[in-house]
């Protein structure tokens, strides 16, 4: 990291690697602060969301195991398609393309 007399000198002479290092350090500091504040409220923000696992499981069920991605069109079948207002079997078709 460079040494500067004041902010004006820093703004004029900072290099891209120094700027990237500063931004990464600040981002990491902000994340650690948010993680600490969440921990004070009893929330672990590092653990994966159980809601996401639930959505993945629903996608596997609706697609008969074809996908675990809830954003995949295969997840929109049956009740999920009716709820969304469109999907496979609701006027939307798909074709499996193999290369």
Full pLDDT tens readout for the chain, 99 residues? 557 678 888 778 888 888 888 889 999 999 999 989 888 888 777 765 556 777 777 767 766 676 766 666 666 666 666 676 666 666 666 677 787
Greatest alpha-carbon span in the chain: 68
Q: Where are the beta strands (DSSP E) in 1-99?
A: none
- What residue numbers bound the domain in which 18 lies? 7-40
Q: Are 55 and 80 within one domain?
A: yes
Residue 45 lies in a domain: no
15 and 33 assigned to the same domain: yes
Q: How far apart are CA 75 and CA 54, in angstroms?
A: 13
**Gap between the Cα atoms of 93 and 73, Å rounded:** 10
Q: Which residues contact 77 (CB under 8 A, 6 or more apart)?
A: 62, 63, 87, 88, 89
């Amino acid at each position: 990291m460079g040494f500067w007399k004041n902010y004006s000198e820093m703004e004029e002479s900072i290099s891209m690697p120094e700027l990237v290092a500063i931004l990464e350090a600040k981002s990491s500091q902000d994340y650690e602060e948010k993680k600490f504040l969440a921990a004070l409220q009893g929330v672990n923000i590092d653990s994966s969301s159980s809601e996401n696992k639930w959505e993945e499981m629903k996608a596997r069920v609706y697609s008969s195991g074809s996908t675990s991605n809830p954003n995949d069109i295969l997840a929109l079948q049956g009740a999920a398609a009716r709820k969304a207002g469109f999907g496979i079997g609701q006027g939307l078709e798909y074709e499996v393309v193999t290369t």
